[in-house]
A and B are shown apart, each in its own frame.
Chain A
Amino acid sequence: MSHAAFVHSLWTMSADPPKKIPAPHIEYAQLSPTLIVLGAAVLGILVEAFLPRRLRHPVQLLLSAVGLVAGFAAVIALAAGGYGTGKAHIAAMGAVAVDGPALFLQGTILLVSLIAVFTFAERRLDPAAHGKRVDSFAAQGSAVPGGAAEQAAVKAGFTTTEVFPVALFAVAGMLVFPAANDLLTLFIALEVFSLPLYVLCGLARRQRLLSQESAVKYFLLGAFSSAFLLFGVALLYGYAGTVTYAGIADVVNGTVRTVDPALASTTGNDALLLIGGALVLMGLLFKVGAVPFHMWTPDVYQGAPTPVTGFMAAATKVAAFGALLRLLYVVLPGLRWDWRPVMWGVAIVTMLVGAIVAVTQTDVKRLLAYSSIAHAGFILAGVIAVSPDGVSSVLFYLAAYSFVTLGAFAVVTLVRDAGGEATHLSKWAGLGRRSPLVAAVFAVFLLAFAGIPLTSGFTGKFAVFKAAAQGGATPLVIVGVLSSAIAAFFYIRVIVLMFFSEPKADGPTVAVPSALTSTAIAVGVAVTLVLGVAPQYFLDLAGQAGVFVR
């Protein structure tokens, strides 16, 4: 064929009828958790468009709760149907994995999001504005803080009920993220859950400048990191000629099943693999909040509305660690002699920096942010184990940690003064004298963070460190225990501050929440204690769920 004819054929149709493109085979039943949540989110948008304003809040809350519960029921049905173990397979033409880790993490994300939605809907904490009860979100996100438009919106009693569908979209992305089985799905899921979170961060009712600033920082750094991830995806595609996890793993291991002579000559360039793998890992470690990609965490956690912070700290971490585990265990196990030293370093630095910098913090939300960085380091220790035990211990730790985090941030929303939430630590002095119950609950969460026995934090840390030690990472365990001790210092310091110092005269008041936040906190305490006292059933569950499908 001449060159001209070849070029010509690109632009014109041949006389033959075009070949039919085969329709892809999609297993809708196995994707139902994600589809249900997405459907609820779309319905939520319609509610915003067509329902009168006064009905929107209750309807949105009901819709989100029903959607998340139905999604959780679908996950349970899939797990009961054996998709977590024997029938685990790859759905949607190789794009989404339905297996134990995916279902376990999806169930965790859905439960955590359900609790988070309760804290989103809380309307008893802020004093009523012009006789109308308000939640933690701006009256009108687009209005200039303190401007005439905002005052009019507050006076009219507007609330941003859009946060419910926006949060549901984020949840849908998080459900796909740990199940993504090719790099394109990974990237799309990352953006689908990140973009709504950027918006949610900028919608606080109080201290709107801080909130907007945190949204800008999160957005710019998040977009920067996802560009790195995408370039990594491009290089891995250049390396393997495909973006499916199994295909890349085959090329890494040198066992290409489908021998394609055309591809064989252009794939397998190790430089592309190493740089691409590093860039993709970088994008995921950013979402996890591991040092040195942690700079956004304290700022965003402090500036975002506290219910959003709780949601983000809990659910994002679960989703991101799920994706990280799948990438390291399914795509790059053949490369583990290259990535393990790097991840060792990242884990050690993350644990130490998180614990040490947290000691100097004076703001409760920033303190919890640095504590979440330290916890990311502990979880990384389990990731490095490269064993089924490592996977199941990480799954258990994520489930335990996310409920503690959500409960802790829910308590932070209760302690208030005239300016909104009183997050400065000095204002928490003597809280135990003023309202013993709230202080005691917060103390339980702090003890769980510190890993004191009989709380879920101890069980999780024990499982992770045991897996790491058996995986040959004893020095990592020693560093982990040391930084746990440093971390315990500042957790205990807050407890001492709450119970053993005199309350100040102009101290904050503790708002009495409605049943919504009370439920969130009660569930947090219950899960913390149950996973601490009788963890065996849940450890077994995580143990069964610890095998990835390829």
Chain B
Amino acid sequence: MNPVNYLYLAALLFTIGAAGVLIRRNAIVIFMCVELMLNACNLAFVTFARLHGNLDGQIIAFFTMVVAAAEVVIGLAIIVSIFRSRHSASVDDAGLLKL
């Protein structure tokens, strides 16, 4: 199969993730959409590595996974702390800071 198709898939996944961040209202779901975007980036890296025939892209994918894991740790900690104080993880309820 032509590897370029995987690039289209990566772009599609990235777009789904970005749209999810903008549309969904639950902080956890928004966060999962961000993770989807990061994984779309990984798919693009690996596909480009296959196209170019070098390993840089595959190595970068590992770094991205580690960063994503670290981000989960920080993100879930922050979201859980706000959920415990407000009993809601909706970003619409978080409206104390306004213009």
Which residues from chain A sit less than 8 Å from chain B, CB to CB?
A: 141-142, 144-145, 184, 187-188, 191, 195, 198-199, 202, 208-210, 212-217, 219-220, 223-224, 227-228, 230-231, 233-235, 237-238, 241-243, 262-263, 266-267, 298-299, 302-303, 360
When chains A and B are docked, how far (Å) is the Cα of A267 from the Cα of B71? 32
Q: Is there an interface contact between B97 and A223, defined as CB atoms closer than 8 Å?
A: no
Complex interface residues of chain B between 51 and 81 (CB less than 8 A to chain A)? 51-54, 56-57, 60, 63-64, 67, 70-71, 74-75, 77-79, 81
Q: How far is the CB of A280 from chain B (nearest CB, A)?
A: 12
When chains A and B are docked, how far (Å) is the Cα of A209 from the Cα of B21? 23
| Residue interface mask B5-37, A partner, CB < 8 A = 1 | 001001000100110010000010011001001
Q: Is there an interface contact between B97 and A220, defined as CB atoms closer than 8 Å?
A: no
Task: Pick the contact of A231: B44, B63, B86, B94 (CB < 8 A).
Answer: B44
Q: Is there an interface contact between A202 and B78, defined as CB atoms closer than 8 Å?
A: yes
Residue of B nearest to A267 (CB): B52
Q: List 18 A-B contacts (CB under 8 A).
A: A145-B85, A191-B71, A195-B70, A199-B74, A212-B82, A212-B85, A215-B81, A216-B78, A220-B75, A227-B34, A233-B41, A234-B10, A237-B45, A237-B48, A237-B56, A238-B7, A242-B56, A303-B97
Q: Is there an interface contact between A213 and B82, defined as CB atoms closer than 8 Å?
A: yes
- Tell me whether A202 and B70 are in contact in the complex, defined as CB-CB below 8 angstroms, given that A231-B44, A237-B56 are known contacts: no
Q: How far is the CB of B16 from chain A (nearest CB, A)?
A: 12
When chains A and B are docked, how far (Å) is the Cα of A208 from the Cα of B85? 9
Task: Pick the contact of B81: A142, A217, A223, A231 (CB < 8 A).
Answer: A142
- Tell me whether A223 and B85 are in contact in the complex, defined as CB-CB below 8 angstroms, given that A202-B78, A216-B78 are known contacts: no
Q: Is there an interface contact between A238 and B84, defined as CB atoms closer than 8 Å?
A: no
Q: Is there an interface contact between A209 and B71, defined as CB atoms closer than 8 Å?
A: no
Please name all residues of chain B whose beta carbon is closer than 8 Å to the beta carbon of A191 when the two chains form the complex: 67, 70-71
When chains A and B are docked, how far (Å) is the Cα of A302 from the Cα of B99? 11
Which residues from chain B sit less than 8 Å from chain A, CB to CB?
A: 7, 10, 14, 17-18, 21, 27, 30-31, 34, 37-38, 40-41, 44-45, 48, 51-54, 56-57, 60, 63-64, 67, 70-71, 74-75, 77-79, 81-82, 84-86, 91, 94, 96-97, 99
Please name all residues of chain B whose beta carbon is closer than 8 Å to the beta carbon of A303 when the two chains form the complex: 96-97
Q: Is there an interface contact between B52 and A227, defined as CB atoms closer than 8 Å?
A: no
Q: Is there an interface contact between A224 and B34, defined as CB atoms closer than 8 Å?
A: yes
Task: Pick the contact of A209: B37, B44, B53, B86 (CB < 8 A).
Answer: B86
Task: Pick the contact of B44: A187, A195, A220, A235 (CB < 8 A).
Answer: A235
Please name all residues of chain A whose beta carbon is closer than 8 Å to the beta carbon of B94 when the two chains form the complex: 213, 216-217
Q: How far is the CB of A299 from chain B (nearest CB, A)?
A: 4
Known: A184-B63, A216-B94, A227-B41. 14 other contacts (CB 8 A): A142-B77, A217-B94, A219-B75, A220-B34, A224-B34, A227-B34, A227-B38, A230-B37, A231-B44, A234-B41, A241-B52, A241-B56, A243-B56, A263-B52
Please name all residues of chain A whose beta carbon is closer than 8 Å to the beta carbon of B96 when the two chains form the complex: 209-210, 213, 303
Q: Is there an interface contact between B37 and A231, defined as CB atoms closer than 8 Å?
A: yes
Q: Is there an interface contact between B74 and A219, defined as CB atoms closer than 8 Å?
A: yes
Q: Is there an interface contact between A215 and B78, defined as CB atoms closer than 8 Å?
A: yes
Please name all residues of chain B whose beta carbon is closer than 8 Å to the beta carbon of A223 when the two chains form the complex: 31, 34, 71, 75
Please name all residues of chain B whose beta carbon is closer than 8 Å to the beta carbon of A238 when the two chains form the complex: 7, 44, 48, 51-52
Q: Is there an interface contact between A141 and B81, defined as CB atoms closer than 8 Å?
A: yes
Task: Pick the contact of B54: A219, A220, A241 (CB < 8 A).
Answer: A241
Q: Is there an interface contact between B70 and A184, defined as CB atoms closer than 8 Å?
A: no
Residue of B nearest to A357 (CB): B99
Q: Is there an interface contact between B78 and A219, defined as CB atoms closer than 8 Å?
A: yes
Please name all residues of chain A whose beta carbon is closer than 8 Å to the beta carbon of B74 when the two chains form the complex: 195, 198-199, 219
Task: Pick the contact of B41: A217, A231, A263 (CB < 8 A).
Answer: A231
When chains A and B are docked, how far (Å) is the Cα of A164 from the Cα of B69? 23
Q: How far is the CB of A219 from chain B (nearest CB, A)?
A: 5
Q: Is there an interface contact between B21 and A224, defined as CB atoms closer than 8 Å?
A: yes
Please name all residues of chain B whose beta carbon is closer than 8 Å to the beta carbon of A210 when the two chains form the complex: 96-97
Please name all residues of chain A whose beta carbon is closer than 8 Å to the beta carbon of B57 when the two chains form the complex: 234, 237
Please name all residues of chain B whose beta carbon is closer than 8 Å to the beta carbon of A208 when the two chains form the complex: 85
Q: Is there an interface contact between B44 and A216, defined as CB atoms closer than 8 Å?
A: no
Please name all residues of chain B whose beta carbon is closer than 8 Å to the beta carbon of A266 when the two chains form the complex: 51-53
When chains A and B are docked, how far (Å) is the Cα of A44 from the Cα of B84? 29
Q: Which of A210, A242, A266 has the most CB atoms of chain B within a 10 A radius of its CB?
A: A266
When chains A and B are docked, how far (Å) is the Cα of A303 from the Cα of B30? 21
Q: How far is the CB of B85 from chain A (nearest CB, A)?
A: 5
Q: How far is the CB of A1 from chain B (nearest CB, A)?
A: 16
Q: Is there an interface contact between A216 and B85, defined as CB atoms closer than 8 Å?
A: no
When chains A and B are docked, how far (Å) is the Cα of A213 from the Cα of B41? 28
Q: How far is the CB of B66 from chain A (nearest CB, A)?
A: 9
Please name all residues of chain B whose beta carbon is closer than 8 Å to the beta carbon of A298 when the two chains form the complex: 97, 99
Please name all residues of chain B whose beta carbon is closer than 8 Å to the beta carbon of A187 when the two chains form the complex: 63-64, 67
When chains A and B are docked, how far (Å) is the Cα of A284 from the Cα of B74? 21
When chains A and B are docked, how far (Å) is the Cα of A213 from the Cα of B64? 27
When chains A and B are docked, how far (Å) is the Cα of A165 from the Cα of B70? 17
Residue of A nearest to B45 (CB): A234
Task: Pick the contact of A198: B18, B37, B67, B78 (CB < 8 A).
Answer: B78
When chains A and B are docked, how far (Å) is the Cα of A217 from the Cα of B30? 11
